[in-house]
């Protein structure tokens, strides 16, 4: 049941309250973050580099692990370094992944044409809080955009098929992905980078699409960035519910005068009830109250517990396989059943 939340319920009067809250933000040094080309923080720093004495700037393969003898590779690490295309624009990891797939398939492309075909959605940075959160929930691209964009730029010569990995699936990732890559498929992973973050590390700001160019017991080899992700961490990223965490600074700096009741009605009508189910408006109110308490000295900034607001996201975690239509196995890929759900282990 929806809860009515008056827009100025934190304030004695709108003008007076807004001035107090802006003073509060200035006092606590809270400023909004900006959308960037790639995730500004990365939880994958625990991967053992080839040479631990070198930084990533000195060695572009620093976050890679050499493939084992039974790994399945589309490119070698050196070829990936040579051929990869890095982020082409803000929130454009999906378009970048499509460009890398085309490169792996040997199909030349115009990056601007791909970017337009994939139709990247941007964050509405200047919008009031409800509209800003709605834009964050769909910013970038989803797997359907990647498949549609790929079909458009190749005149349907390349086809795609998405496989859900959430809820958890009964699958040996190395065997399954290696099987399809050996048949000519090039994968793109759609991952929630906010999962699997080590305690004390900053939480990344977004989901991410990356082309996979290799798989083996050592991990998953991907580009943009060039990295080998350990299988356990990759599982955290690839098996996630469709949610997004929004940083405190991005919420409280946009709340003055915002009508939080709009959050009760949701953004996208296809899943607007999730905004109510997840209590997004109440989360925002709680965060704003906590920020004011810190400003008044009732609590210390270090005691603030609500660091993020949890909102619905349009993305689904999983892997999209792309194949040329003239590949004999492409129909097998399109017709193959989805991955079976993992059965719960019942203890006696």
Q: Percent of the chain, pLDDT > 90?
A: 70
Co-location of 81 and 229 in the same domain = yes
Mark whether 212 and 306 lie in a shared domain.
Answer: no
Q: 4-13, 83-92, 191-200 — which is least confidently predicted?
A: 4-13
The residue segments making up the domain with residue 292 are: 14-33+245-312
The dihedral built from the CA positions of residue 113, 119, 157 and 220, taken in this order, carries a sign that is positive
pLDDT, tens digit (0-9, with 9 covering 90-100), for 122-153:
999 999 999 999 999 999 999 999 999 999 99
Average pLDDT over residues 307-330: 96
Q: Which residue has the higher pLDDT, 21 or 277?
A: 277
pLDDT at 20 over 50: yes
Q: Are residues 221 and 258 in the same domain?
A: no
> Which two tokens mark 251?
């919420």
Which pLDDT does position 264 carry in this prediction?
Answer: 81
| Amino acid 65: pLDDT | 98
Q: What CATH number did the domain enclosing 212 receive?
A: 3.90.70.30
Share of residues in the chain with pLDDT > 70 (%): 80
Q: How confident is the model at residue 101 (pLDDT cuts 50, 70, 90)?
A: very high
**Residue written as token pair 């296809």:** 270
Element holding 100 (H helix, E strand): helix 93-104
Q: Using the CB atoms, write b or e for 106-116: b if 16+ within 10 Å.
A: eeebebeebbe
Q: Is the pLDDT of residue 71 over 70?
A: yes
In 3D space, the residue among 231, 222, 111, 117 whose CA is nearest the CA of residue 165 turns out to be: 231
pLDDT at 244 over 60: yes
Q: Which residues does 116 contact at the CB level (< 8 Å), separation at least 6?
A: none
Q: Are both 125 and 197 inside the same structural domain?
A: yes
**Is the pLDDT at 335 greater than 70, yes or no?**
yes
On average, the pLDDT of the chain sits at: 86
SS3 content of the chain, % helix, strand, coil (to 5): 35, 15, 50
The pLDDT tens digits for 113-123 are 999 999 999 99
**43 pLDDT above the threshold of 90:** no
Q: What is the mean pLDDT of residues 244-267?
A: 88
Residue 112 pLDDT greater than 70, yes or no: yes
* pLDDT band, very low/low/confident/very high, at 320 (cuts 50, 70, 90): very high
Confidence band (pLDDT; 50, 70, 90) for 41?
A: very low
Do 178 and 212 contact (CB within 8 A), yes or no?
A: no
Higher pLDDT, 17 or 147: 147
Quote the Cα angle for 301-302-306, to 5°. 80
Domain count, the chain: 2
Strands 243-247 and 308-312: antiparallel
Same domain, 263 and 331: no
> Do 95 and 115 sit in the same domain of this protein?
yes
pLDDT in the model for residue 267:
66
Which has more confidence, 263 or 182?
Answer: 182
Rounded to 5°, the CA angle 186-213-238 comes to 80
Q: How far apart are CA 84 and CA 225, in angstroms?
A: 9
Which tokens is 5 given? 């939340």
Statement to judge: residues 229 and 162 lie in one domain: yes
Whether residue 55 lies inside any domain: the answer is no
Report the pLDDT value the prediction gives residue 45, as an integer from 0 to 100: 46
Higher per-residue confidence, 261 vs 189? 189
**What CA–CA distance (Å, rounded) separates 279 from 263?**
9
One domain for residues 176 and 110:
yes
331 lies in a domain?
A: yes
Residue 39 has pLDDT above 70, yes or no: no
Q: Quick one: 132 and 226 in the same domain?
A: yes
206 compared with 53, residue with greater pLDDT: 206
Say yes or no to pLDDT of 205 above 80: yes
Residue 51 within a domain: no
Closest-CA residue to 248 (of 313, 309, 332, 182): 309
99 and 114 share one domain = yes
pLDDT-wise least confident of 17-21, 97-101, 245-249, 293-297 = 17-21
Positive or negative: CA dihedral 317, 142, 121, 280: negative
Q: What angle do the packed helices 93-104 and 143-153 form, to 10 degrees?
A: 50
Give the distance, in angstroms, between the CA of residue 186 and the centroid of all CA atoms in the same chain.
20
Token code pair at residue 83: 């051929």
pLDDT of residue 255: 84
Residue 134 exposure: Cα atoms within 13 Å on the Cβ side: 18
- Is-contact 107 154, C-beta < 8 A? yes
Block residue for tokens 């990759």: 234
Taking residues 74-89, what's their average pLDDT?
97
Q: What mean pLDDT comes out for the span 162-188?
A: 98
């Amino acid at each position: 049941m929806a809860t009515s939340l008056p827009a100025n319920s934190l304030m004695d009067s709108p003008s007076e309250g807004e001035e107090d809250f802006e003073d509060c933000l200035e006092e606590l040094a809270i400023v909004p973050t900006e959308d960037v080309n790639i995730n500004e923080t990365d939880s994958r720093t625990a991967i053992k580099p080839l040479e631990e004495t070198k930084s990533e700037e000195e060695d572009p393969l620093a976050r890679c692990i050499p493939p084992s003898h039974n790994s399945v590779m589309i490119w070698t690490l050196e070829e990936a370094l040579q051929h990869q295309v890095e982020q082409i624009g803000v929130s454009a990891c999906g378009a970048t992944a499509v460009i890398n797939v085309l490169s792996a398939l040997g199909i030349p492309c115009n990056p601007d044409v791909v970017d337009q075909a994939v139709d990247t959605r941007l964050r509405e940075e200047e919008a009031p809080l409800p509209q800003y959160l709605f834009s964050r929930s769909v910013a970038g691209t989803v797997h359907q955009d990647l498949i549609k964009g790929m079909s458009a730029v190749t005149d349907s010569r390349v086809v795609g098929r998405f496989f859900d990995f959430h809820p958890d699936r009964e699958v040996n990732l190395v065997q399954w992905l290696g099987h399809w890559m050996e048949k000519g498929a090039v994968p793109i992973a759609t991952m929630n980078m906010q999962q699997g973050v080590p305690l004390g590390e900053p939480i990344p700001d977004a989901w991410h699409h990356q082309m996979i160019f290799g798989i083996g017991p050592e991990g998953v080899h991907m580009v943009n960035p060039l990295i080998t992700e350990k299988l356990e961490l990759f599982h955290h990223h690839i098996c996630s519910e469709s949610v997004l965490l929004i940083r405190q600074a991005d919420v409280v700096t946009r709340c003055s005068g915002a009508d939080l009741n709009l959050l009760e009605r949701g953004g996208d009508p296809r899943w607007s009830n999730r905004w109510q189910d997840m209590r997004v408006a109440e989360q925002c109110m709680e965060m704003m109250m906590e920020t004011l308490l810190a400003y008044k000295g009732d609590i210390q900034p270090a005691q603030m517990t609500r660091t993020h607001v949890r909102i619905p996201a349009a993305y689904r975690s999983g892997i999209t396989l792309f194949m040329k239509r003239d590949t004999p196995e492409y129909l097998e890929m399109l017709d193959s059943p989805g991955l079976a759900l993992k059965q719960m282990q019942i203890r006696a």
